[in-house]
Amino acid sequence: MMTISSVFVLCLCLGLIDLNEGQLIHKLQDKIKKVASQNLGLDVTRYDHEEMMLFPNVGFQRKEGDWRLNLHGWRFQTSKKNKFLGESSSAMAQRIARLVASTEQAVYYNDTFQRDRLKPFMVQDETHEKIHIMIGTKHNYTTKTDGEGQFRTSFIIPNEDVQELKRASKNNQIVTYKAIGDNADLWEGKIHLLERNGLSVISDIDDTIKISEVLDKVRLVANTFIHGFRVVEGMPEVYRGWQNRYNCSFHYLSAMPDQLYTVTKDFIDDHKFPDGTFHMRHFRWASTSIYNFVHSVDTKMHKINHLRYFVFNSLRQLVLVGDSGERDPEIYGNVARMYPKRVRRIFIRAVKNEKDDDDRFLKAFKDVPREKWMIFRDPVRDLPKNLDAPPTAPPPTTKTPAKKPKSNPK
């Protein structure tokens, strides 16, 4: 539940407010609430349209032969009449920026905020609501949302029933399920099936396949909420090549809020990345900003826990792809040391053009065999097509010795 002005929360989310500046916060909060009610026409009491977001998740085949299907969803209410989101996005950005940002930031944010990216942050969580789950025609369950409108649950399904679901599906590696809210509204979710053995690519999103500039607070906000999403050139082609060659599964493990799932999924589809599961974090209405949210200790644990989950629930080999902007080298190196037989390759995109022998990388990948990890800059040029062979660095440049001139016979 939101307990403070939605506009104020939006400013926190965008990172326009630094909560370390405590005295400024108390002054701004009342002012923003006043502007929201008098000028923006924001009516946060009119949440009367219930929706549900179902995140593509994984189904693991267990050693007994049956399947553990994992479900993750978010139940929330939106407002049918919200003058705040109906106002010109540019005008909204100017109003908020002038209230809470420096002059330099106000000029920078004088651009068009993408309403489809802001809207999921301007909703009310539906807490402790019963959600009915239907998997095929034989399996019906009931679960409940938590205090943030989220539900995470799993069910054990016999292999023969899963095979029947696969036959009825357009894609034999995906099964669907239905989630029904208390208003009898029906939503469809997807579960990607992973057999015990195989190859899975676990990829970060921001600054790995999408330019986000997470190291810069202002640019991170702009790239997340204002500018069109930009792809890291070459990454779609590399991922499609791996998928075609190995029939590997893809799993997008991100530190960004799951409120941005829909627009992130559109980005994946638009650039023809392989379809896959999404594992993002829910942005909590607490004292934080997007920048701090992405760089928090919770983000590190979020990634480690999901990687362990893949290790514990299957025998699949893992290819880990990330970047140097966050803690991916340290996280992946830690997992590779803990489970050396399960991590096949690690690829880190150098966002600051770091060198392979950078002290940070040598420390992060200490005791990890050198042939297992690579720092890359140009995906097409640097990343291997063959994931079976150890990655090789470009050969060093060597000078060809000059030929001695032939002596003329006397």
pLDDT digit string (tens) for 362-404? Answer: 999 999 999 999 999 999 999 999 998 665 554 443 444 444 4
* Residues 61 and 175 grouped into a single domain: yes
Answer yes or no: is pLDDT of 37 > 50: no
Residue 404 lies in a domain: no
Instruction: Write out the two tokens for 313.
Output: 């629930």
What total of structural domains would you count in the chain?
3
* Residues 89 and 103 grouped into a single domain: yes
Report CA dihedral (331, 332, 334, 339) to the nearest 10 degrees.
140
Query: Which whole number is the average pLDDT over 353-358?
Result: 91
Residue 391 lies in a domain: no
Residue 188 lies in a domain: yes
* Residues 339 and 216 grouped into a single domain: yes
User: How confident is the model at residue 332, as a pLDDT?
Assistant: 98
Query: Which whole number is the average pLDDT over 92-106?
Result: 43
* Residues 105 and 172 grouped into a single domain: no
Residue 148 lies in a domain: yes
* Residues 245 and 183 grouped into a single domain: no
User: How confident is the model at residue 391, as a pLDDT?
Assistant: 58
Q: Which domain holds residue 101?
A: 6-42+83-121
pTM summary value: 0.80
pLDDT digits (tens, 9 = 90+) for 192-213: 999 999 999 999 999 999 999 9
* Residues 55 and 173 grouped into a single domain: yes
Residue 1 lies in a domain: no
Residue 405 lies in a domain: no
Domain boundary among 194, 209, 238: 194
Residue 400 lies in a domain: no
* Residues 267 and 163 grouped into a single domain: no
Residue 106 lies in a domain: yes
* Residues 265 and 163 grouped into a single domain: no
* Residues 296 and 260 grouped into a single domain: yes
